[in-house]
Amino acid sequence: MFRYAPSTPTDTHLRNTTATTVFTPYVLCSCQTSRRFFHPLIQFTDLGRPSCVAAATNDPLAAIPMAHNFSECEKFQKALLPSMYGVEFVVALVGNLFALWLLAGRERRNWHTGVVLACNLAISDLLYVLTLPLLIAYYSLDKHWVFGDAACKIERFLFTCNLYVSIFFVMAIGVNRCVALKFPFFTRSYLEPIHAKAASVLIWVLVGVISCPVLRWASVCPSQHNNNTLCVSYCDPNPGDKNSHFSYKVFLAVFGCVVPFLVTFSCYFAVISAVWKNSSVTPLEKRKVALLVTSVLVLYAISFVPYHVFQMYHLYLRINYLKSSVCWVYDMYQVSKGLATLNMCLHPILYMALFDSMRVACCGRSPEDKPDRG
């Protein structure tokens, strides 16, 4: 329980202990005496009480109150993530297998650039979804990784690849739609599926290259709170590598999320503007565009943006203040990783906005067969 304490120790306290009680507006704890100015910072412990970490700093913001029981902090994610990953595994596996079957089958007669990009997106989802049983077992076993260091690196690498392949292919689909609407003659005359295949290869190579550092940093790591083995994105005793790892994550957030976000929504803004200003576009086509833009907005709002925001905040706190993080930030970061994986379940909605065969297969009847009331 936190309470205020006088900055001057009592005589009884001086006789019974060698520690000095330090006053802060945040927490009462005891630290070893020193001539330097220290802030006592609260760190996660497995003892059910805060431990005192001396931080040689004059920054009053350094004394951020931390969760005082790490095991309590982890209960939330251990209860939520196994079931979340389990549902995502089933939905993503069935949805993307079905989508790939339709795209490679029915849409093959109308093979165009959009189909090529969507097929690559579905393949990326299927590659990563096969690793979800490892995460389900990991969290079900109280965060104990039993599959070895190599499997840990591969799982983290595939997660990173799937996340940024998804973002870049969603961007490519948006650029493709924008070019098709703004320059229809150029699109029909010059753009071929071979160009989409070349763009797909470029995306795969680019994402593979920027994801390679994950193989260096991701590893198994002994837990500081029990005898479990963790699979983490960073576990290195060299403090200097923390800044390098954080810089790498900032690069991924900017190059892999912010830049594609700006390009994607610039394209969709142009698409919406062109469609709504064109009187020859039917209400059905407008609804299809609205569904497409809405599905991309949901992807960013649920999967992409929260993951990068909470990841950056969590890592920032670890570097600047503690080895650990604020409990709610840590929990939200773990949940945001589950939400980032949710993008595999949302992609079939994107395909429904792009291809009539997907809507016919899901709804049983083409919208064109229904009388238009709009």
- What the chain holds in terms of domains, given with CATH numbers, is 11-62 (no CATH), 70-369 (1.20.1070.10)
CA distance 268 to 174: 6
Whether residue 136 has pLDDT greater than 90 = yes
Whether residue 239 has pLDDT greater than 80 = no
Q: What is the pLDDT of residue 324?
A: 55
Percent of the chain with pLDDT over 90: 44
What letter does residue 321 receive in the DSSP assignment?
A: T
Q: 88 with 338: CB under 8 angstroms? A: yes
Instruction: Work out the average pLDDT over 191-213.
Output: 95
Instruction: Work out the average pLDDT over 28-56.
Output: 37
Q: What is the pLDDT of residue 163?
A: 96
326-346: per-residue pLDDT in tens? 788 888 998 999 999 999 999
Task: Note every long-range contact of 213-222, with CB atoms under 8 Å and residues 24 or more positions apart, other chains counting.
Answer: 213/248, 214/153, 214/156, 214/157, 214/160, 215/153, 215/157, 217/241, 217/245, 217/248, 218/152, 218/153, 218/156, 218/157, 219/149, 219/152, 219/153, 220/145, 220/148, 220/149, 220/152
Confidence class of residue 260 from pLDDT cuts 50, 70 and 90? very high
Instruction: Work out the average pLDDT over 217-227.
Output: 86
CA distance 311 to 332: 9
Task: Note every long-range contact of 26-30, with CB atoms under 8 Å and residues 24 or more positions apart, other chains counting.
Answer: 26/2, 26/63, 26/64, 26/65, 27/2, 27/63, 27/65, 28/2, 28/3, 28/4
Strand partners, 31: 20
Residue 195 CB neighbour total at 10 angstroms:
13
Instruction: Work out the average pLDDT over 305-319.
Output: 91
CA distances from 68 to 4, 27, 51, 142, 320 (A): 17, 11, 8, 19, 19
Average pLDDT, the chain: 78
Q: What is the pLDDT of residue 373?
A: 40
Q: 233 with 214: CB under 8 angstroms? A: yes
- Least confident range of 7-11, 148-152, 298-302, 342-346: 7-11
Top-confidence range, 49-58, 141-150, 231-240 = 141-150
HSE-up of 257 (CA within 13 Å, CB side)? Answer: 22
Whether residue 305 has pLDDT greater than 90 = yes
More confident residue, 283 or 270: 270
138-179: per-residue pLDDT in tens? 999 989 999 999 999 999 999 999 999 999 999 999 999 999
72-92: per-residue pLDDT in tens? 677 778 888 999 999 999 999
With vertex at residue 294, the alpha carbon angle to CA 100 and CA 313, rounded to the nearest 5 degrees, is 95
Q: What is the pLDDT of residue 287?
A: 85
Q: What is the pLDDT of residue 70?
A: 57
Minimal CA–CA distance to 324: which of 73, 141, 24? 73
Whether residue 353 has pLDDT greater than 90 = no
CA distance 132 to 138: 10
Confidence class of residue 283 from pLDDT cuts 50, 70 and 90? confident
CA distances from 98 to 87, 112, 237, 345, 352 (A): 17, 19, 45, 12, 12
More confident residue, 205 or 241: 205
3-class secondary structure, 33: coil
